Each structure stands twice: as C-alpha cells, then as structure tokens.
Amino acid sequence: MHLNLEPRSHRISNSKKSKKMRLTNPGAIIASLFFLACLPIVSVIGIEYLERGSLHDTIHWLMSYKRLFLLNVGLSFCLLLFIQAIVGSLAISGAISTLLLGLMALISYMKVKMIGEPFFPWDILLNKESMDIASLVTGKAAMIRIVSIIVVIAVVFLLRWVLPRWKMPIVMRVAMGLFALYALYAFSVKTPMAGKVLDRAGVNEIVWDQQQNYTNNGLALAFTLNVKNSIVQKPDTYSDHAIATVAANLQQSNQQEAKLASNGLINGKKPNVIFIMSEAFWDPTLLTNVKFSEDPLPTIHQLQKESTSGYLLSPQFGGGTSNVEFEVLTGDSMSFLPGGSIPYQQYVNKPVPSLASYFADQGYKSMGIHSYEGWFWDRNTVYKQLGFESFKSSEYFENPEVKGYFISDAEVSRNIIKEVDNTDNPMFIYTVTMQNHGPYDDPRYGKNNFEATGPLSAQAKSILETYTQGAHDADQSLKMLIDHYQNSDEPTMIVFYGDHLPMLGLDYQVYKEAGFIQSSNPNEWTLDEVKKMHSIPLVTWSNFDMPKQQIPLLSDSFLGAHVLDMLHMEKPANFALDAQLANQVPGLLSNLVVDSNQELHAKVPDASKALVDDYRNVQYDMLFGKQYMAEYLDHDYLTKTAQASYNAEFGGDGTEAKRAGESESTPEAKPVSAQ
C-alpha cells in the first residue's frame, strides 16, 4: 500500500495548479471549440429528422439545400453561444440548447400530424391551448422521439465530466452573448445585412404556405424568419387616399341598397339571429367509397333541400377554431395575416367592429355562448373587444349534461333557448359547441349507431364511426332548436355550420384511406383537393318566409354580409365591401381563390386584384392602421368602444373565471390543443 505523505496544503496547491493547467491547455480549448462547432451540426440534423420523420428526406434536404442547412447550423450555434454566455458550462449549455431545439421539433412534428401546420413563434403565447399536447403524444413514433430527445440531452449533459472546464473571462462571455443575441435578432427581423445573407443563400420565404416554408428552409431558419411575421406589415397600397376612394364607392353603393333594406323587421319585429358554429362539424357521407348503415345527418340533409344552404370555405383544418370565429364575426380574412397566426391572441387587443357590435347598435342583445372554459383563446377578453354584451362560457352552465369528454351539444341548445326566453330584446347569439372535438381514436360515446363500410383499416373505421356519432348528435341538437322555434311567436333565424373539417387520424388517415384525397402531404394536393379539405356544410333555417338560395361556396369572412343581405339589413362599411368582393371572389384562402364562375386559382385573378387590395387595405385600417375609414363612413360603428357592462350578468369581465380555468380544467374534459 502506498501512502501519500505529501502535506495537504501541497496537495491542494498541486490540484489547483493541475486544474489551471487544464484550463489553459491548448488541447482543452480545441476540444471546447470542437464541441461548440459539432453540436449545432448534430442538432440541426437531429431536429430535421425528428420533424420530417424520415432519414431519407432529411439527407435529401441537407444535400439539396446545403446553404440553408448551414444557415440553420449558424442559428443553432448562436443559440448555443447565447446560452453558454449566460450559464458558463459547455455541457449544461449544450443540454439546454438541445432541449429547446428538441421540444421545438417535437411540437412541430405533432402539429403537422394533427392539423397540417408547423410550430410558429406565436404558438409560444398560446399557453395551454397549443402546448397541452400530452394526451395526444401517445403513438409509437411520438414516444420514440421523446425518448431520443431525453437520451441525447442526457449524453450531452454527462459530457460535463469529460469536457475541459474552460472558464471564460466575463468580458468575453458578455461580448459572445451580445454577438449571438444580435445575430438571432438580425435574422428574426431581417435586417439589411441579414437580408443579404439570406438572399445569397437562396432563401425563399413562403409565408402563404408555411408547411412548404419549413420543408424548404428548415425548422430553425423558418421559425426564426417567422418572428417578424408576428407584426403585420403595412400594405404598399395603404393610404388615406386609398381608403377614401373605397369609402366613396361604398357610399354610392349603400345609397342604392338602402332603398331596398327593411331594417330586418319581420311583421314589425326584429328576429333573433342565432349563429351556431358546431365544433369540427362536417358531412362524413361526402367521403369517397364509404357508406353508412343509416343517414347520420337527417336534419342537415333535409335543410339542404328546403332552405338556403351551401358550403363555407374555412381557413382552417383540424383546429384553430378561433380563426373561423374571427373571420365570421369581423368579416376580415386570415389570408392577409401570417400563416398560423391567431388574431384573438395576437391582434384583437382593442375594440374591433364586428357583427356583435353591429347588432348591438340595432337594439339587439349580443351574446357569445361556448361550452368550454372562457379563458380559451382569450375569448373572455376578446369578446369584450368585439362588442358582445355578455359571454356565457362553460363556467356558467348549470349542471350541464356531458357527453363523451365535453358538454353536450344538446345542452348548448337548451342554453340558447333559455337565454332567448329570458331576454326581452331580440338576440344575436354566436354559439361555439365543443362536444365533438377530437381526437376520435377511442369510442367515447360507447356504442356507435352508425356503421361505416368501405376501404378502411380497423383504426380508421373506429375513428370515423366515433366522429360520425358526434356529428349526428350535433344534427339532432339543431333539430331541437328548430322544433322549439317552429311554433314560437318570436321570429328567429338560425345559421348552422362547422369551423373546419375534423382531424380523422394522423396524416389525414381516414381521408386518404377513403380516397377523398390522394396524398397525405398537403403540398401535393390539387386545387380541387384543397377546396374539398376546407369546405364546410352551411345550412340556415327560419320560422318566417325567406327565399331559398343555393350557395356553391363562400368564404367564412363573407358569411356575415350574406346573412345581413338575407335579413334585408343595411350593411356597415366593412361588410358592404365583403359583399362586393364576394360577388367577384366568393372563395378566398391564402393558397386557393375561387372566382364567381367557381373556377379555382392558386392566386387572385388579375381582374379582381384591385378589389382584393381594397379589402386588404380596409382590414389593415381597422386592425392596425389609422382608422381612416371612420372619417368617411359609419364613424360610430367603426370607433365604438366595448360595452361598459360587459358580462355583468355573469359576474364581470370573466377575470375570475379565467383564473379558475387556468388552475383547474373541466373534470370530464381531456386536454385540448386545437380548439
């Protein structure tokens, strides 16, 4: 046995000397730099593989877009440098940057699988709405990704016992951190210098098709470039003069229409106007090669024969309900906003003119009803800004019936009836249901009464039958309302439609197996397939005479104007412009335009560009601009403030309910990520 008889003070001194030598050893510095250089390369390859789901696709992208790959590596390197400047430890900084990039890739992968959209910078602001995907991350592919991320993070973290402890001077750390932060900032806002780098690298921002944008440019670069899209850029054609020209044209048109308007009176009474946006409602009998044991939507199919009906063109698929509300209520279009943006969370932070404020001006009580928690998508505060008098969310339903995971559609119909009966004034109600929210991969309703037959796998068959049972319940809840108001002496109009097609399995499983679409990659869809995957049934009913109309296709943003025309009510400026544009371009998405002849285009036809520019300018004017339009038309409506007594009947502005909702979710409900 060897005894170390060296004095302890000498041993400590030698230990410090050894550590000091390690810190100043050129080999240690080289090893550290090698780590800093290699980790970003490995990280970018890893996150692209995680998001794309194919090693072949990842390698193909790397070889085809070498410069874009290097830009992604550079951004990952800057992130690592910035964290290193804060933390100081190479291994810990590497583990943190790997965690952040891995989570970004995982969330993007799941979003694409669920609703066809990647991870956007503004998703970070969505809190529980977007980030609560735990209940959906149960598949084998997702679990493999999660485990892979954990393993890589653990390996990087364990390197702290292998890597040299290179203590960087504080001045160098500050300089390094500022450099990294500025580089990330420069690419986020696209400074002139960053713009030159991007141009030389061949970067092509495809903001109108974000999935293609991420596929081409890579996750880190596309995500970073989207930061600037959180702020909507002013249109080149926007000016006081441009808005004045639009106002003059609208004023002339309105004078002619005012002669025909009857102020919406039915036998001297103003009718109740009830909008019902049924969660994920669609007609499953439209699926190619699929038959059902019996008709799941008898009410809808009867109304399609007897009343005004047709199809709405939704800006969403599988999620993003609030964006459809935004289009219908405001008459504005998502096609002019960054792909994947959420106006309720990003832009509606001041009073915005809407159907709710318009009907309030006409002597109506404007109420929002939603059978989920009021904090979701910030509806508590947004509905106030949109001019509603009150908002009845699930917190204010008394002992509601629950079917599946959520409050039933039948319960929503009962609450509509209750609110109309308890209100003396005519009512404008905007209703959003929740019962048939996805996922549909378990038989939540017990036995399904509608058997689907066709070229479907067992899993796809189960998903479709569960969804169809919920769609049938929505159909029957509409029948309940019709039966009630059929003999009512209160004139009432009901407008019923869905917000988007349902997500029937990952990668559009049911649609693909049924032959409704040919590819699970939206980038490969034909214009006709894009149209089909965004077309939602619309039906109307009233207990007073109304001419039957057939609506081949109409964007959600034009629905409000159409309903006002059906009621012979004068339209305010923004909805009047909607009606004009709908005559030329009834369907308007960022990647699909449908003209008055129902011909499909990938972009706006030249003949309609001027009017579409007017529409874009007016939308910008009301949401972000100087409100020039209010100087020429409808000043009181366009500048109306929120109702001072908003939600007084339900205890104020909903702040307390929001706090409760954030700390305690509905017991029966599963976490929701796309409502």
Kindly state whether residues 354 and 410 are assigned to the same domain: yes
Examine the pLDDT at 11 and tell me if it is beyond 50.
Answer: no
Kindly state whether residues 165 and 245 are assigned to the same domain: no
Examine the pLDDT at 634 and tell me if it is beyond 80.
Answer: yes
pLDDT band at 446 (very low <50, low <70, confident <90, very high): confident
Kindly state whether residues 363 and 505 are assigned to the same domain: yes
Share of the chain above pLDDT 70, in %: 85
Which CATH number does the domain housing residue 392 bear? 3.40.720.10
Least Cα distance to 539 among 208, 281, 336, 337 occurs for 281
Between CA 542 and CA 379 the distance in angstroms is 28
Kindly state whether residues 214 and 339 are assigned to the same domain: no
Give the pLDDT confidence score for residue 666 in this predicted structure: 39
Q: How far apart are the first and last CA of the chain?
A: 71
Kindly state whether residues 34 and 67 are assigned to the same domain: yes
| 673 assigned to some structural domain | no
| 669 assigned to some structural domain | no
Kindly state whether residues 250 and 207 are assigned to the same domain: no
For 522-541, the DSSP string reads: GGG--HHHHHHTTEEEEEEE
Most confident of 89-98, 162-171, 205-214: 89-98
Examine the pLDDT at 139 and tell me if it is beyond 70.
Answer: no
Q: Contact 102/152 with Cβ under 8 angstroms?
A: yes
Give the pLDDT confidence score for residue 325 in this predicted structure: 97
| 656 assigned to some structural domain | no
Mean predicted confidence (pLDDT) in 258-285? 86
Examine the pLDDT at 156 and tell me if it is beyond 80.
Answer: no
Residue 210: partners with Cβ closer than 8 Å, 6 or more residues away: 117, 118, 120, 222, 226, 339, 340
| 152 assigned to some structural domain | yes
Kindly state whether residues 90 and 128 are assigned to the same domain: yes
Q: Flag the least confident range among 100-109, 396-405, 429-438.
A: 100-109
Kindly state whether residues 135 and 37 are assigned to the same domain: yes
Mean predicted confidence (pLDDT) in 654-675? 43
151 vs 34, 102, 154, 259, CA distance in Å? 21, 11, 5, 72
18 vs 10, 15, 31, 161, CA distance in Å? 12, 5, 17, 16
Task: Tell me the per-residue pLDDT of 251-267, one tens digit each, with 9 for 90 and over.
Answer: 887 766 665 566 667 77
Examine the pLDDT at 230 and tell me if it is beyond 50.
Answer: yes
User: Bigger pLDDT: 329 or 105?
Assistant: 329
Give the pLDDT confidence score for residue 38 in this predicted structure: 85
Mean predicted confidence (pLDDT) in 419-441? 94
Examine the pLDDT at 536 and tell me if it is beyond 50.
Answer: yes
Task: Tell me the per-residue pLDDT of 61-86, one tens digit each, with 9 for 90 and over.
Answer: 999 889 999 999 999 999 988 998 88
Task: Tell me the per-residue pLDDT of 375-398, one tens digit each, with 9 for 90 and over.
Answer: 888 899 899 999 999 999 999 999
Give the pLDDT confidence score for residue 653 in this predicted structure: 59
Give the pLDDT confidence score for residue 28 in this predicted structure: 61
For the chain, the domain total comes to: 2
What percent of the residues of the chain are helix, what percent strand, and what percent coil, each to the nearest 5?
55, 10, 35
Task: Tell me the per-residue pLDDT of 359-377, one tens digit each, with 9 for 90 and over.
Answer: 999 999 999 999 999 988 8
pLDDT band at 36 (very low <50, low <70, confident <90, very high): confident
Mean predicted confidence (pLDDT) in 442-463? 92
Domain end among 184, 199, 230 = 230
Kindly state whether residues 636 and 510 are assigned to the same domain: yes
Q: Is 429 helix (H, G, I), strand (E, B) or coil?
A: strand
Examine the pLDDT at 20 and tell me if it is beyond 60.
Answer: no
Examine the pLDDT at 88 and tell me if it is beyond 50.
Answer: yes
Least Cα distance to 393 among 94, 652, 215, 126 occurs for 652
Kindly state whether residues 26 and 146 are assigned to the same domain: yes
Task: Tell me the per-residue pLDDT of 312-356, one tens digit each, with 9 for 90 and over.
Answer: 999 999 888 999 999 999 999 999 998 778 898 789 989 999 999
Give the domain extent around 419. Answer: 240-640
Kindly state whether residues 201 and 330 are assigned to the same domain: no
Kindly state whether residues 435 and 410 are assigned to the same domain: yes
Q: Contact 325/432 with Cβ under 8 angstroms?
A: yes
